[in-house]
Amino acid sequence: MRDPRILLPVLLLTLGLAAVAIAQTCESNATNCEECLRNVSCLWCGTKKTCITYPVKTILPPHSVCPLNDARWGLCWMNFQTLIITISVVAAVIIIALIICMFCCCKCGNAGSKRFEAKMARQTNKMKDKQEERRAEMKQRHDEIRAKYGLTGQNPYSKFA
């Protein structure tokens, strides 16, 4: 088994050499756009007619490297500026469609809440009816107890009041 402390620098060196090799292949593919864009990490600049390594540190290639309307990445027939606009429009349409779908789903969910409210009203009425029955039973029991002990009728002290 090899020592992992040795393998890590070897791996990093190999990746570094691969990055250098990619950079060299981008600059060597200066003949036309199709050959340049076969490598995903390459960018074709139409005004300079050069193939350069895509500047990954900046999201968009700076104007000093190549103007956006002359830069080609991925497709030779579409410039970078058009690609960005197209992707942003498609993303905006998808987001708007999702928002509309969510709004429609919530609105349809409110229609279901009417059924839920009706169910809750039925349950509330049922609970009120049970409470009234219990009150009537308690009043009847209390009246029976009053009758048992002779406490029915008027209060003897009510005529003094």
Lowest mean pLDDT among 50-59, 85-94, 121-130: 50-59
Q: Say yes or no to pLDDT of 13 above 50.
A: no
* CB distance 101 to 108 below 8 Å: no
Q: Say yes or no to pLDDT of 8 above 50.
A: no
* Strands of the sheet with 71-72, listed across from one edge: 50-53, 42-45, 71-72
pLDDT for 155 equals: 64
Q: What's the mean pLDDT in 19-37?
A: 69
Q: What's the mean pLDDT in 59-78?
A: 85
Domain ranges in the chain are 4-77, 79-150
Q: What's the mean pLDDT in 6-31?
A: 53
Lowest mean pLDDT among 24-38, 52-66, 75-89: 24-38
* DSSP per-residue letters across 95-144: HHHHHHHHHHHHHHHHHHHHHHHHHHHHHHHHHHHHHHHHHHHHHHHHHH
